Structure 1
Amino acid sequence: MCGRSPRPCLLLWMVAAGISAALCEVKTAGSLTVEAGSAASLSCNISLATGEVVHQVRWLNRHKVPLLTYEPPARISHSQAHVQLTSSPRNASSITIRRVRPDDGGCYRCVFDVYPSGSQEGSTCISVTGKVHLEGNRTAVSGKPVSLSCWYSLPERVSQVLWTKTSEQGDSTTVASYSKRGHHTPEPFRDRVRLSPTLGDSRLTVLSVRTEDEACYTCQFHTYPDGTRSSTACLSVYVLPQPQLTHAVSSPGVTEANCTAQSRPPAEITWEVGDENRTLGVPVSSAYEHGDGTTTVTSTLLFQSGLLGDMAVKCVVRHPGLEKPLILMLDSDVRPAVIVLLSVCGVAAVLLLCLCVCLCKCFICTQGLLSKRKQTVNDVRQSLREKPKCQHEREQEDGTFISCRRLFPFPDLWSRLIPIRGRGRVQRIRGSASLLAPVVAAKF
């Protein structure tokens, strides 16, 4: 039939090709929004007519540069390093871009080379945006500094960073902002907060935290072309407890102990008693809220007074801001009295010992020393009264005699007299300026 008239055959072929093209439709996801630095998955499906076969699949970027080429089922002939083939059934294809970069935005084409109908293709467009990263919720102690940090994954797109505070009632207040023109901090926060002079990475520091600083803080990045991107973190403020423990005798044989702690949030108070059978009932707790947001918790315990003499009563205070519980011990009143008494006795003994040493030096020990000195002086005087003993005498040519060397009973106190010439002369004893030793020269 086609041999006699080619026109009907041509018409039949065109109808068949149109039907085949209509059946070979490629479906894609259309568009995707992907954060910079994350992975992106692209996929497309094709509807094949009977007898059609896919010979090759190609993926092209916006510049028509091939990213990946393969022959089904998975014979890869070309692939870029950051692109991976994840799925390749007969009538579908899926790839993954491992780490999307800012310049990876645009439309990607998947091309199916089908026999005998020809090439069929579809496209998926990717929009690359940045994301705000925040450290998360923070907890600070009243009076201490605290910092909140956030950063944007595409810092080159940021034109301004803004921090706002949202209270528990829902009121929003601007805390600080920074742009290329400089800082801006409203008056209520001007002397209390510091904002880093950076756009992509921002740090807000509260110098001294107060209870009214407890709120949720939002970090906003004004970017182009991504628009405004923000994230929120909440700040909790703790006031650490400083517990006090007191006790008093409420009735004969009964002692009342009170443990009090003011903090934010309220502290938990428990008791540790060695013998619970000697307590009079369970502890009674009460709480009082203050205007500054703190709460005073008081726990009262009644026990037999004799318990203090046997063991210690402990008040245990727990708080989320403490690494370990605070323990206050209630001891017996007798033990401090004994310690004070021993201390007084020790001081008195030391003072008495010092007094004895002073008396000995001033009177007793000095009297013995004076007696010894007096005896020595008497012995010296007695030796001076004795007749001198001469070792030798020698007559001179002029009829005089050389004086003799006088011997004394105390050689360590007196030096020997130096021989002199003359009659009736007196020579000072060497080594003593107060005593004189007469030396008599006699002539026969």
Structure 2
Amino acid sequence: PQKGVQLLSVAPASLPASVQVMNRKVQSVQAGGNVTFSCQSVTKEDVIQVTWQKETDGAEDNIATYSTMNGQRVAKGYASHVSFAHSELQASAISLHGVTLQDEGCYKCIFNTFPSGAVTGRMCLNVYAISDPRVEVKLIPNQEKAEDSEKMVRMSCSATGKPAPKITWHLPSILQQKPREYHIKFSNQTVTVISNFTHTHSRILQEYPIACVIQHPSLNVTLVPPTDSLEQGPGNSTMVPAIAIAVGVLVPLTSLLLLTCLVCLCLRHLRDSGRNPDWPCWVGL
């Protein structure tokens, strides 16, 4: 006898719910700038609420929520610089304004679905900053030749940033000494980098091109050391301008006072002209 054939029908399995991060999963922004995080739910299930969180010291800190019943809500600690850029149950985006170093970290967008529960997307933010790039020049005594009047020149280049700025120099080949570099770390994760060196020839800046190069994700700049403070010499660099200013002010002022006195004498003489009408009045300078 012919055996019966049993057919089994298998229903197609529904795709599991997931979250698609619409922006890069790791973003970088300069301190003071703005950044937007966007997520979209990939599911046919009903979304009850969207929640945004920030990972803080191993815990999750609620930033904002959106639901049909309660609308947009931003937590009190974030209300000053976080807002919804887009709010729907299937897609959501928040913007951070005036980003600070404290905003660095990882963020989560959580879609609470029914009946599967929460599905999560994750993205991270790197914040970089730089401040106070400068180059300075000073004349200092030569320690090896204390009796010699020849001064040494000290050049220093520095900047504070996160990550630590990179400092290099454009130096002449005659300079044998390599610059020394120092790093000072702060609790806010910024680092001050100082690079300096000294040279026995105090006129090296006038005779050779020297420049400090600072490199950072938010800034690439070349600084040329100033030479104005070295041209007059360390002792009289401020005295000469002071004398020039004093002379420029006192000479006109003295002339004005003298003229005023002569005019007053002449007016007094004219008031007394009835007594001596033949007296002339002369004002000469």
TM-score by length of 1: 0.46
Deviations 1:271-317 (CA, angstroms, capped at 9, x unpaired): 111x23224x2111111122333211111122332321212211100
Question: What residue number does 1:130 align with?
Answer: 17
Residues 312 and 330, structure 1, Cα contact 8 Å, conserved in 2: no
What secondary structure sits across from 2:77 in the alignment?
helix
Moved over 4 A (4+): 117-122, 334-337
Question: What residue number does 1:94 align with?
Answer: none
Question: What residue number does 2:67 align with?
Answer: 179
Deviations 1:250-287 (CA, angstroms, capped at 9, x unpaired): 323421111110111111111111x23224x2111111
Query: How does 1:423-438 map onto structure 2 within 5 Å?
Result: none
Following superposition, the deviation at residue 124 of structure 1 comes to 6.0
Unmatched runs of 5 consecutive residues or more in structure 1: 1-12, 18-116, 345-444
What secondary structure sits across from 1:330 in the alignment?
coil
Once residues 120 and 183 of structure 1 are traced to their aligned partners in structure 2, the CA distance between those partners, rounded to angstroms, is 52
Q: Kindly tell me: are residues 186 and 118 of structure 1, through their superposed partners in 2, closer, same or farther at Cα, counting changes over 3 Å?
A: closer
Following superposition, the deviation at residue 184 of structure 1 comes to 2.1
Larger radius of gyration between Structure 1 and Structure 2 = 1
What secondary structure sits across from 1:287 in the alignment?
strand
Residues 241 and 267, structure 1, Cα contact 8 Å, conserved in 2: no
Following superposition, the deviation at residue 130 of structure 1 comes to 3.5
Question: What residue number does 2:129 align with?
Answer: 239
TM-score by length of 2: 0.70
Question: What residue number does 1:311 align with?
Answer: 208
Residues 194 and 206, structure 1, Cα contact 8 Å, conserved in 2: yes
What secondary structure sits across from 1:243 in the alignment?
strand
Following superposition, the deviation at residue 239 of structure 1 comes to 0.9
Residues 137 and 226, structure 2, Cα contact 8 Å, conserved in 1: no
Following superposition, the deviation at residue 244 of structure 1 comes to 0.8
Question: What residue number does 2:223 align with?
Answer: 328
What secondary structure sits across from 1:187 in the alignment?
coil
Once residues 156 and 118 of structure 1 are traced to their aligned partners in structure 2, the CA distance between those partners, rounded to angstroms, is 37
Asked if 1:285 is matched to 2:285, the reply is: no
Question: What residue number does 2:103 align with?
Answer: 213
What secondary structure sits across from 1:152 in the alignment?
strand
Following superposition, the deviation at residue 228 of structure 1 comes to 1.0
Q: Kindly tell me: are residues 299 and 131 of structure 1, through their superposed partners in 2, closer, same or farther at Cα, counting changes over 3 Å?
A: same
Identity of aligned residues (%): 25
Once residues 151 and 175 of structure 2 are traced to their aligned partners in structure 1, the CA distance between those partners, rounded to angstroms, is 11
Following superposition, the deviation at residue 194 of structure 1 comes to 0.3
Asked if 1:296 is matched to 2:192, the reply is: yes
Structure having the larger proportion of residues in helix: 1
Pick one of 221, 226, 247 that aligns with 2:116. 226
Question: What residue number does 1:166 align with?
Answer: 55
Deviations 1:140-187 (CA, angstroms, capped at 9, x unpaired): 1111221111111237732211011112x3132101111112122221
Once residues 229 and 154 of structure 2 are traced to their aligned partners in structure 1, the CA distance between those partners, rounded to angstroms, is 17
Once residues 192 and 263 of structure 1 are traced to their aligned partners in structure 2, the CA distance between those partners, rounded to angstroms, is 23
Instruction: State the one-letter code of the partner of 2:163.
Output: P
Instruction: State the one-letter code of the partner of 1:297.
Output: V
Once residues 221 and 276 of structure 1 are traced to their aligned partners in structure 2, the CA distance between those partners, rounded to angstroms, is 63
Instruction: State the one-letter code of the partner of 1:271.
Output: W
Deviations 1:34-91 (CA, angstroms, capped at 9, x unpaired): xxxxxxxxxxxxxxxxxxxxxxxxxxxxxxxxxxxxxxxxxxxxxxxxxxxxxxxxxx
Question: What residue number does 1:248 align with?
Answer: 138
Question: What residue number does 1:139 align with?
Answer: 28
Residues 156 and 200, structure 1, Cα contact 8 Å, conserved in 2: no
Instruction: State the one-letter code of the partner of 1:174.
Output: N
Pick one of 264, 267, 274 that aligns with 2:162. 264
Query: How does 1:38-437 map onto structure 2 within 5 Å?
Result: 121=8, 123=10, 125-134=12-21, 135=23, 136-154=25-43, 157-167=46-56, 169-181=57-69, 182-195=71-84, 196-250=86-140, 251=142, 252-273=150-171, 275-279=172-176, 281-303=177-199, 304-322=201-219, 325-333=220-228
Unmatched runs of 5 consecutive residues or more in structure 2: 143-149, 233-240, 245-285
Q: Kindly tell me: are residues 200 and 120 of structure 1, through their superposed partners in 2, closer, same or farther at Cα, counting changes over 3 Å?
A: closer
What secondary structure sits across from 1:203 in the alignment?
strand
Instruction: State the one-letter code of the partner of 1:171.
Output: A
What secondary structure sits across from 1:240 in the alignment?
strand
Q: Kindly tell me: are residues 160 and 334 of structure 1, through their superposed partners in 2, closer, same or farther at Cα, counting changes over 3 Å?
A: closer
Report the RMSD for the aligned CA atoms in angstroms: 2.8
Instruction: State the one-letter code of the partner of 1:284.
Output: R
